Amino acid sequence: MRIANKLLVALAVLALPLTSLATDLAVLSNGFSIRHERREVRGQITRLYVDGKGDSYVDIPTDQIAGFEKDLSPASAGEKGRAGRASLSDMINGISGSYHLDPDLVNSVIHAESGFNVRAVSPRGAEGLMQLMPQTASRLGVENAFDPTANVDGGTRYLRELLERYNFDLIKALAAYNAGPQRVEQYRGVPPYYETQAYVARIVRDFNRKKLAEQKTAKGVAPHSPTARKSARAGASTTAGLIPVASNSK
């Protein structure tokens, strides 16, 4: 079965009402907060745009958002001005960068795994944001899977290991993250399990949607403007670390 050919979906342009909020904090029911420039409600999902350009965002189940607050910390104060408020997006960005992975990919994995619920526990015993099984967490040196930073660090490192193991075939790496490397090797690709196939499709579809939105934003900027030159420089450094999606995985 060739899943990858069905994964890249067209980005629908929806006329949805946007709420401009300058910089706000979305306070999650798990205790984290996510700093964002604006937000929009899409059915049961609230999309938080974490930059002013609109090409970087996180989708959060609306029922997991406890409320919104103004971010009163001065921008010039840096980390000190943000003391006492853990920023989930900043943490994921930092850890993703340390393992040379696109933060959008890691965000998509977290979204599929736990819906950004720090205390999530699966029926099989996987724990935390990136749903680490106890034996996997132990091997990765994660002592407390409910510690968000430790969990994301361990999960991102494991994802990087899987990508290297499968020669950066994202489809196989995601399948192994869900079903285990032994199953991927047994079936020489994505196992014939509905759960795993749906899991891989959901993540790649979410990741591709973000990349398409990013490309559309970049194309809308005048080619010789200062903003375009800045975007080109940023894009060069970002795309250098993107993981290609193999189009021939089973």
114 against 249, higher pLDDT: 114
- For residue 159, being part of any structural domain is answered with yes
Model pLDDT, residue 126: 93
**Dihedral of the alpha carbons of 221, 98, 206, 198, in degrees to the nearest 10:** 160
Model pLDDT, residue 37: 82
- For residue 49, being part of any structural domain is answered with no
Among 176-180, 214-218, 244-248, whose mean pLDDT is lowest?
Answer: 244-248
pLDDT tens-digit map of 158-199: 999 999 999 999 999 999 999 999 999 999 999 999 999 999
Model pLDDT, residue 27: 82
- For residue 11, being part of any structural domain is answered with no
Does 79 score more than 60 pLDDT?
no
The pairing of beta strand 19-28 with beta strand 45-49: unpaired
- For residue 105, being part of any structural domain is answered with yes
Model pLDDT, residue 55: 61
DSSP 57-95: EEEEEGGGEEEEEE--S-GGGHHHHTTT--BHHHHHHHH
- For residue 176, being part of any structural domain is answered with yes
Residue % of the chain over a pLDDT of 70: 69
Nearest-Å Rg of the Cα atoms of the chain is 18
18 against 114, higher pLDDT: 114
Model pLDDT, residue 52: 64
From edge to edge, which strands make up the β-sheet containing 65-70?
57-61, 45-49, 33-42, 19-28, 65-70
Does 249 score more than 70 pLDDT?
no
- For residue 154, being part of any structural domain is answered with yes
Confidence of residue 227 (pLDDT cuts 50, 70, 90): very low
Model pLDDT, residue 31: 63
123 against 1, higher pLDDT: 123
- For residue 35, being part of any structural domain is answered with no
- For residue 66, being part of any structural domain is answered with no
C-alpha to C-alpha distance for 82 and 144, rounded to whole angstroms? 24
Structurally, how many domains does the chain consist of?
A: 1
pTM: 0.61
Q: Which residues are catalytic?
A: 113
| CATH number where 211 lies | 1.10.530.10
79 against 87, higher pLDDT: 87
Range of the domain at 133: 85-221+230-238
Model pLDDT, residue 134: 95
pLDDT tens-digit map of 28-72: 776 667 778 889 998 888 988 876 666 667 788 888 888 888 876
